[in-house]
Structure 1
Amino acid sequence: MPKEVSQQKAAVLGLQHLLAMYSGAVAVPLLIGGALKFNSTQMTYLVSIDIFMCGLATLLQLMRNKYFGIGLPVVLGCAIQAVAPLVMIGKKFSINTMYGAIIVAGIFVFLIAGFFSKIKKLFPPVVTGTLITTIGLTLIPVAFQNMGGGNSNAKNFGDSKNLIVSFITIAIIIALEIWAKGFLKSISVLVGLILGTIIASFMGLVSLKPVIQASWFHLPQFFYFGVPKFEWSSSLTMIIIALVSMVESTGVFFATGDLLHKNISEDDLKRGYRAEGLAQILGGLFNTFPYTTFSQNVGLLQLSGIKTKRPIYWAASLLMLMGLLPKVGALVTIIPTPVLGGAMLVMFTMIAVQGIKMLLQTNLNDNRNVLTIAISIGLGLGVTIYPKIFQNLPQTVQLFLSNGIVVASLSATLLNLLFKKGSGEK
């Protein structure tokens, strides 16, 4: 059983989980709002209510009941793979069509959850281990980009200040893992982020402007940007993206289950998918985005050693509070991108290591298993680095094949089935 912690310690651990996922959560509204030319008032709503919805979506997944909720210590945030399709729909049709498509996709996920959960038998350790390793490895370039400053095309990308604070953040986390004990060791990432930000402030990399400009309070509103409209091709596009997210979430569910030494059943998967579908429906109604289970927090569970749900309840509550109090929420945005990048590098590599540990459960003396792992990870990383390799294929096919995690998952599943009789995997 996961060891329990006091409410005070759980709150601090919850804040650590929040900071780990925050940049990924706010990236989606910033990218979509910027591409669709939202004004400052619209952007304020979009970011704040998106954060509120991340907390609500997380609660839906935590609170296991008869119909939905996997009940694992996982955090939900915006699906980054939805950015390009949503921008395309918003520009070609309208913002309202964009939200209509999100609602349709959410209903689709909720309805097919039972059927999709039956694919559990397709995910033995050779497949899940490959998928989770690929998730970690494909996220590492994101961490490196943030370490350099965030925008690789910017003039200051790779500036010495960015590199110094990112590596100092990594060094602080490593030092705490080596020399700290008890609770302090479990919050090494949080301490790294705080100290990294303080050091960065002396180097002129921290601005309080977002906090000063943010409002004090506002409430979520149904149909803030207007009543959703429904268009078949847009809905189909978002259904495809939803399927991609379900594949990724499956890997996260199995990774978390492995950490907790818990067998993930078909019923667990069904409830997990339903919670994501419900969160996506609410995202469309509140004019935010699709929500999916975040993988970066799995690495944090491994690093902190605290695997109970209590800190995640705190993270969800803090997210909702920050969504209602934009000025408080803006405090988190002052953490410099290079500092986040340093922490991300540690967490993302931990995910890859978790995948490798799962692969050790397979027979690596069997070349068929080795081929399944090698080819699948190779394809996943290759697509991540060069997604344009499939640019001449139909747009619908590109939506699947431009995601390295999905490509690795499909490859590992198909190769495992092909080699199943000889490999001895079940």
Structure 2
Amino acid sequence: MKNEHAWMKEGFSFLQWVVFLLANALSLPVVIGQLYHLSAAEVAGLMQRTFFVIGLTSFLQGWLGHRYPLADGPAGIWLGMFTVMGTMAGAGEAVLSETLRVLEGAMILAGVIIIVISAFRLLPKILFLFTPLVTGSFLMLLSLQLSGVFFQGMFGIGQGRDALEGKLLLVSVAVFVLVWVLSVWGKGWMKNYAVLIGIAAGWAGFAGLGYDAAPVSFSSFVTLPSVFAWGTPVFDPNMILTVLVIVLLLLSNLIASVSAMEQVLSGKNRLESGVLSRSGTVNGVATLASSLFSTVGMVPLTVSAGFVSMTGEKRRRPYLAACIGVVAISCIPPIISFFAQLPGPVAYAVLLASFGQMFGIGLKGVLKEALDSRRFQILGITMSAGVGMMFLPAEVFQNFPPVIQSLMSNGLLVGMLICLVLEQCWRPRGEESFKKVSNHA
């Protein structure tokens, strides 16, 4: 009986981790597929590669990296970059294909930089650049830039329709509200599986409305993921500055995730330099793997700490077994074909609900330090310039050199650079508090 109970416990823990690993990436391939006009077969291929990389890199982190039950998943920073560049590229298939190859090259460059920084233990020496004001501003700008794209996708705009359909709108909004409510007020497993519940409910709703996506055909029951499915990587010099900013933000995210898990597992607030070095190196390898298998870059997910805290499952063995299970699932086309039929508006609604909290998290980060007159003005200039640039059509910069076009057409990057420069060059000096400034207004 004891052995039977132990096996049941192991099996349940394994299943929990498999569902958790899949749930955090299920909607992403559908969103990327619609942004870049991928066919149903290409979306299925992207989903296969995404699951494969998630299982592989999560296993490597748990085995050789941080060595915690801390799952990898698509990085919001990389998803934002894919979304922004896909939107900027326009509707031409040739241009969109070239953009994907440029992003492959960008991930290779980012992976190499992360490995070098981590291997030489340079991480603590560069993180001073990313103050709460800088990281908070980035999250707020990213949420604003993505919101328009996600809303259009959620309402089905640009997917063969230009006007809203009442039934589609009702289901999409219901999914958004459901995921948001469960994320904020849900208890226990409902909170941790809010995304999966939202996907299931939305999918059922669309099925009830007669939505019927054609299943993807497959020739065998076991296939391996393709390498460089988007084509040979393109290394664009105009992306170097963007990649550097992404790398630093990824490393900041990495430290936050590992620290949160360390707190859950041991109650410690300090991380050993060896843990950071190992996890950073493996994250660099994960970024290279994301390019190799043509998917969105990965990062350890902070939400894993909440999942472990809720379930109380702190052992590595079920987690590592689940990672291998996800890799195995990714090689079975019938399963991937089923998941690839997820309705696009449902995927967008789920992502919008998840990213909706990003603005609040960013604002909370900014307010970690007193909002004195200096920081208040830097925040105002950053948000005004970043959001303002988002409303300018890319064509206005067509007479400028390519590197300037790449920079100025990206409001997120413009805002980030302004914030970084002002935060480092405008040093605090006898600052007045924001309260005093308000009193003079």
Aligned position for 2:56: 56
The residue that corresponds to 1:345 in the other structure is: 352
Show the counterpart of 2:26. Answer: 22
Q: Give 1:373's aligned amino acid.
A: L
Name the counterpart of 1:329.
Answer: 336
Indicate the residue corresponding to 2:3 in structure 1: none
Q: Which residue, 159, 162, 169 being the options, matches 2:165?
A: 159
| Higher mean displacement: 133-142 or 349-358 | 133-142
- Corresponding residue number in structure 2 for 1:406: 413
Cα distance 1:283–1:180, how it changes in 2: closer, same or farther (>3 A)? closer
Is the contact between residue 146 and residue 341 of structure 1 (CA under 8 Å) also seen in structure 2? yes
Residue 197 of structure 2 corresponds to 191
Task: Indicate whether 1:373 and 2:371 are aligned.
Answer: no
Residues in 1 aligned to 2:98 and 2:184: alpha-carbon distance in whole angstroms:
51
Residues 148-170 of structure 1: CA distance to partner in whole angstroms, max 9, x if unpaired?
11x43632553222211111113
SS of aligned partner of 1:422: coil
Q: Tell me, which stretches of 5 or more residues in structure 1 are unaligned?
A: none
Whether 1:107 aligns to 2:105 is: no
Shift in Å at residue 225 of structure 1?
9.0
CA contact (8 A) 1:138 1:384 kept: yes
- Residue identity matched to 2:426: F
Percent sequence identity is 23
What does 1:56-205 correspond to in 2, within 5 Å? Answer: 56-63=56-63, 65=65, 73-76=71-74, 79-80=78-79, 81=81, 103=108, 106-113=111-118, 114=120, 115=122, 118-149=125-156, 151-152=157-158, 154-155=160-161, 158-174=164-180, 176=182, 181-205=187-211
Report the alpha carbon displacement of residue 22 of structure 1 after superposing the two structures with TM.
3.2
User: Post-superposition shift, 1:360?
Assistant: 2.4
**Shift of the alpha carbon at 1:235?**
5.8
Residues 45-100 of structure 1 deviation map (CA, whole Å, 9 limit, x = unaligned): 565335422432344445453xx8898544136945366699669769x98x9977
Tell me whether 1:252 sits opposite 2:248 in the alignment.
no
The question of whether the paired residues in 1 share the 8 Å contact of 2:115 and 2:284 is answered with yes
CA distance in 2, matches of 1:419, 1:103: 34
Describe the SS at the equivalent of 1:219. coil
Task: Name the CA shift for 1:158/1:33 in 2 (closer, same or farther; >3 Å).
Answer: closer
Aligned residues between the structures: 403
2:223 is paired with a residue whose SS is: coil
**Aligned partners of 2:49, 2:416: CA distance in 1, in Å?**
32
**How far apart are 1:257 and its partner, in Å?**
6.1
Counterpart Cα distance in 1 of 2:409 and 2:61: 28
What per-residue deviation string (whole Å, max 9, x for no partner) do you get for residues 306-336 of structure 1? 5988798687556523421122122222222
Paired residue secondary structure (1:234) = coil
Shift, 1:339, TM fit? 1.8
Contact 1:193 1:340 in 2 (8 A): yes
d(CA) in 2 for partners of 1:316, 1:391: 46
Q: Please, which runs of 5 or more residues in structure 2 have no aligned partner?
A: 1-8, 264-268, 432-441
Pair 1:396-2:403 in alignment:
yes
Paired residues for 1:272-287 under 5 Å: 273-283=280-290, 286=292
Instruction: Show the counterpart of 2:434.
Output: none
Contact 1:276 1:291 in 2 (8 A): no
Q: What are the superposed Cα offsets for residues 222-243 of structure 1, whole Å, 9 maximum, x if unpaired? A: 67899x69xxx83645655533
Distance, in Å, in 2 between the alignment partners of 1:386 and 1:408 is 14
Aligned equivalents of 1:372 and 1:324: distance in 2? 49
Q: 2:149, 2:270 → 1: CA distance?
A: 31
Greater C-alpha Rg = 2
Give the 3 Å change call, closer, same or farther, for CA 399–199 of structure 1 in structure 2: same
Within-5 A mapping of 1:228-243: 234=235, 236=237, 239-240=240-241, 242-243=243-244
Residues 238-317 of structure 1 correspond to what in structure 2 (within 5 A)? 239-240=240-241, 242-253=243-254, 256=257, 271=278, 273-283=280-290, 286=292, 288-289=294-295, 291-293=297-299, 306=310, 316-317=323-324
Equivalent position SS for 1:293: strand
Structure 2 counterpart SS, 1:22: coil
How many angstroms apart in 2 are the aligned matches of 1:90 and 1:60?
30
Q: After TM superposition, give the deviation of residue 212 of structure 1 in Å.
A: 5.2
Q: Deviations over 1:109-164 (max 9, x none)?
A: 43345456522111222222222333333332232122111x43632553222211
2:221 to 216, 239, 248: 216
* Whole-angstrom CA distance in 2 between matches of 1:315 and 1:351: 28
Is the contact made by 2:175 and 2:199 (CA closer than 8 Å) also made in structure 1?
yes
Structure 1 contact 138–380 (Cα < 8 Å) conserved:
no
Measure the CA separation in 2 of the matches of 1:27 and 1:376. 28
> 1:216 aligns to what SS in structure 2?
coil
Equivalent-residue separation in structure 2 for 1:160 and 1:323 (angstroms): 36
Structure 2 distance, partners of 1:213, 1:128, is 44
1:107/1:342 CA distance change after superposition, 3 Å: closer
Q: Which moved more, 1:298-307 or 1:325-334?
A: 298-307
